[in-house]
């Protein structure tokens, strides 16, 4: 799994938290950061799913 992706996730998470504290949770900047974090989390999940050889389809 990509350590770079994990670092990017953590950086984006910190940016979103800081924005939420400074500007509020409904601020467009905070919402944009949240969407970017969601995208990164989905990417992380996709990579994790693809690398999991133990997964079986039902």
What does the domain layout of the chain look like in residue ranges?
3-46
Q: What are phi and psi of 47, to 5 degrees?
A: -65, -40
In angstroms, the CA 38 to CA 9 distance is 9
Q: Is the pLDDT of residue 58 over 80?
A: no
pTM (two decimals): 0.79
Q: Which helix (H) or strand (E) is 33 found in, with range?
A: helix 28-51
Query: With the C-alpha atoms ordered 11, 14, 16, 19, is the resulting torsion angle positive or negative?
Result: negative
Q: Tell me, what's the pLDDT at 3?
A: 87
Tell me what the mean pLDDT of segment 30-48 comes to: 94
Q: Tell me, what's the pLDDT at 2?
A: 77
Tell me what the mean pLDDT of segment 44-58 comes to: 69
Percentage of residues of the chain with pLDDT beyond 90: 69
């Amino acid at each position: 799994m990509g350590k770079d992706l994990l670092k990017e996730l953590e950086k984006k998470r910190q940016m979103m938290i800081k924005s939420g504290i400074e500007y509020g949770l409904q601020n467009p900047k905070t919402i944009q950061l949240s969407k970017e974090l969601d995208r990164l989390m989905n990417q992380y999940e996709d990579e994790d799913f693809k690398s999991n050889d133990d997964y079986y389809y039902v």
